[in-house]
Amino acid sequence: MKNALALLFFFAFLLAFGAFNGVAWLASVSVGFLGSSLIIVASFYGYYKRVRQKLERGEIEADKFNDEDDDSEVLEREEDIKSFIATQKQKRKLLPSAHSFGSSFLPLRILSYAIFVIAFFMLKRHDLLEFAALFIGVGIGAFGAIITARRFYG
């Protein structure tokens, strides 16, 4: 509830700020935010589907994603520190294994980039494009993804 209230306050601030700067600024921020958010959601969904497919095929073991290991027991024994570090490095290698050349061409991701580019050209065509506002909107979407990822992954 606290996060939703903070987000509502932030959007109210952007609307008030946009009222002083004009419709072009508000349209550019909106396109930047919605476009980057759409791209991020499509990327997350595509990677999620890719990992699920690898799990179903047996290319990745399901227990590799289990973070419920009791790390304190391992660290208590000094001789197991090297094996603990090796295990952690192995877990970190799983994330890049989900990325590949094929994951760059996910259909939803390509569609979201196409929508963002079309919206960009629509702003340009109607003389509503403000680059600073567009970058602020893209930055807000990227910052939101970082906050969300840190909340879920650590």
**Percentage above 90 pLDDT, the chain:** 20
Tens digit of pLDDT for each residue in 43-67? 888 888 887 887 888 777 666 555 5
Q: Report which of residues 77 and 61 the model is more confident about.
A: 61
Q: Are 133 and 25 in contact (CB under 8 A)?
A: yes
Tens digit of pLDDT for each residue in 80-95? 666 666 676 666 665 5
Q: What is the pLDDT of residue 120?
A: 96
Q: Look at residue 127 and tell me whether its pLDDT is greater than 90.
A: yes
Q: Are 149 and 44 in contact (CB under 8 A)?
A: no
Kind and range of the H or E element at 99?
none
Going from the C-alpha of 105 to that of each of 76, 109, 151, the distances in angstroms are: 45, 7, 27
Q: What is the pLDDT of residue 98?
A: 47
Which ranges in the chain belong to alpha helices (H)? 2-21, 23-57, 71-76, 81-98, 107-125, 131-153
